[in-house]
Structure formats: C-alpha cells, structure tokens
C-alpha cells in the first residue's frame, strides 16, 4: 500500500505528505499498550485514518474520527481458522513449538509423560520471521472473540490464548532474546480413560474437596484436572476453575477464572 501511494504521488495523481513526530523510545517500549496508536490518532482529526488494525479502528470511531478499516485476505485453515505462519511448525504429534531469534526452531513431540524434543529444521529464525509471527498472533487475538491476552507485562512478557493455543512471547529485558513458545493441548481425556480403582472413583463421587494433583512438569496434571472438572460437571455440580493461564480443556459450561491485578 505504501509503495502504491508513493507511486501515485510520483505520477501526480495524489499529494503525499509525511506528518507527525518520530516516536520516542518510551513510546516504542509501550507500543503493546497502544501508545503509538494513540499518537497516530492525535494527528488524524482533520483527515481520514485508514488502518488494518481493528482496535485502532474502534478507538478512532469512539474518538469521532473518519476511519476506514482494511481487512487483509488470509488463507483459511480447517475449522475456519486463518492460516498463520505458526501453524507451519506443527504436525499431528507436536505438543509445543519453541522459536527463538537466531536459533533453529524446536518442537516438543509425543504425549504428556512421554515426549521428546526435536529440531524442526536447520534454518535459523530471523528477526523478520519472528516479528511477523508475533504480529500475526497479536492481530489474530484481536479479531477472534474466543481469544485474549492473558498477561502483558512492560518488562517484555506477553501470554495469549489463541483458539486452543497457549502462546508465550518474551523480549529483552525479561529474556535475553525474542522468543515465542506455542503450546497446543493434544489430549482431552475422560476420567474413565484413566482406569482408576473403583474405590477412588467412589471417593471422587462422594467428596470433591481436598484433592491434590502433583507430578513433574509435562506429566499430565492439567489434563487430569480438566478430566476431573468435566466429570464433576456431569455429576450436576457447579464447577469453576482458577488458574493462570486459563487453558484447561473443559466444557464451555465451566467458567475459568484467573488472578486479578492488585
């Protein structure tokens, strides 16, 4: 679009003028909080703002600006999901993908309690690649009503839920490099699939208080907790969950809570 505008200007079809001040370092650091978007809107009260950002569009309408929203056509994946670059790193056995700038991509494959780390390819992740992936993720989160930003810290940490994916984005100074970790739950189990002893099943039916689930990382604690939550829902109990991040694979009737900021 920018190249076309310059082309039309050079041909005398339009007049192209660059306005506004260069953003400060503070504005750039606070960009994820909308600082640059606010600065853009300050210079557009007498003109028409054209944007591909839905949040920027909504804020412009709220502030009484003339705004045009441009939507980019994206490839569709199964179930109607847009095809994002992050999907290219997954196959049917992938549990999570680990992307770090200047490092080759890795994937965690297998199942809870039985997984291994595998190099996806020998190509190092470039700055443009990882920034494009992050941009696509954050834009998709804005557009999808089921997705949301769970945690966003100024030090350089963002946790997002995109469809069924849990995504952690880190930057300096929080991390030494730009890194993206995308986790997709592979398994949704029922209590019956665990083949629990009948005495334990009766205990779970009779009392639901005081249950402690423990185990090493990756052992399947969250999978079991989700199965237990769905089990109690079918027992006509009111079920709520409290965790951070909210990514348990539970029935939509179950409300998932997270921590509140002080």
83 and 179 both lie in a single domain: yes
What is the pLDDT averaged over residues 8-31?
76
Sign of the alpha-carbon torsion through 139, 140, 144, 147: negative
Note whether residue 20 is domain-resident: yes
pLDDT of residue 221: 87
Note whether residue 106 is domain-resident: yes
Higher pLDDT, 215 or 81: 215
- Residue at which a domain ends, from 148, 183, 218: 183
152 and 132 both lie in a single domain: yes
Note whether residue 262 is domain-resident: no
pLDDT exceeds cutoff 80 at 122: yes
140 and 225 both lie in a single domain: no
Higher pLDDT, 120 or 25: 120
117 and 63 both lie in a single domain: no
CATH of the domain at 48: 3.40.50.1010
Note whether residue 203 is domain-resident: yes
Q: Do 213 and 223 contact (CB within 8 A), yes or no? A: no
Give the burial class of 129: count Cβ atoms within 10 A of its Cβ; 0-12 exposed, 13-18 middle, 19 or more buried.
middle
pLDDT of residue 218: 73
* Rg of the chain taking only CA atoms, in angstroms: 23
CATH of the domain at 86: 3.30.450
Note whether residue 233 is domain-resident: yes
150 and 171 both lie in a single domain: yes
- Residue at which a domain ends, from 38, 69, 100: 69
Q: 147: which residues sit within 8 A by CB, 6+ positions away?
A: 140, 141, 160, 161, 162, 163
90 and 168 both lie in a single domain: yes
Least confident of 25-34, 64-73, 157-166, 201-210: 25-34
159 and 245 both lie in a single domain: no
pLDDT exceeds cutoff 80 at 257: yes
Note whether residue 25 is domain-resident: yes
- Looking up tokens 């929080």, which residue turns up? 174
Average pLDDT of the chain to the nearest whole number: 84
Q: Does pTM top 0.75 for this prediction?
A: no
DSSP secondary structure letters along 97-145: EEEETTS--EEEEEETTEEEEEE--SPPPPHHHHHHHHHHHHHHHHH-T
What is the pLDDT averaged over residues 58-82?
70
pLDDT of residue 78: 46
207 and 245 both lie in a single domain: yes
Tokens of 207: 């009392």
Pairing of strands 148-153, 114-119: unpaired
105 and 171 both lie in a single domain: yes
42 and 62 both lie in a single domain: yes
Note whether residue 11 is domain-resident: yes
Note whether residue 140 is domain-resident: yes
What is the pLDDT averaged over residues 48-76?
76
What is the pLDDT averaged over residues 233-248?
86
Residue 159: which domain range? Answer: 78-183
pLDDT exceeds cutoff 60 at 61: yes
- Residue at which a domain ends, from 69, 102, 121: 69
Total domain count, the chain: 3
44 and 93 both lie in a single domain: no
230 and 159 both lie in a single domain: no
Q: What percent of the chain has pLDDT over 90?
A: 32
């Amino acid at each position: 679009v920018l190249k076309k505008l310059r082309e039309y200007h050079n041909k005398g079809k339009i007049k192209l003028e660059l306005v506004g001040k260069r953003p400060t370092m503070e504005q750039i650091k606070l960009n994820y909080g909308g600082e640059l978007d606010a600065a853009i809107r300050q210079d557009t009260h007498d003109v028409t703002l054209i944007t591909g950002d839905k949040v920027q569009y909504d804020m412009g309408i709220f502030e009484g600006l003339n705004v045009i929203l441009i939507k980019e056509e994206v490839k569709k994946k199964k179930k109607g999901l847009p095809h994002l670059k992050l999907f290219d790193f997954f196959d049917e056995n992938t549990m999570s993908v680990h992307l770090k700038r200047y490092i080759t991509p890795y994937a965690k494959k297998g199942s809870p309690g039985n997984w291994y780390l595998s190099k996806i390819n020998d190509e190092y992740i470039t700055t443009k690649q990882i920034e494009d992936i992050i941009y696509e993720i954050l834009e998709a989160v804005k557009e999808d009503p089921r997705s949301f930003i769970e945690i966003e810290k100024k030090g350089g940490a963002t946790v997002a839920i995109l469809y069924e994916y849990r995504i952690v984005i880190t930057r300096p100074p929080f991390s030494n490099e730009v890194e993206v970790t995308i986790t997709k739950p592979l398994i949704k189990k029922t209590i019956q699939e665990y083949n629990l002893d009948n005495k334990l099943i009766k205990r779970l039916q009779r009392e639901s208080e005081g249950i402690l689930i423990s185990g090493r990382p990756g052992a399947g604690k969250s999978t079991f907790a989700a199965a237990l939550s769905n089990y109690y829902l079918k027992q006509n109990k009111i079920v709520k969950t409290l965790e951070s991040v909210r990514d348990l694979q539970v029935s939509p009737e179950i409300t998932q809570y997270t921590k509140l900021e002080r």
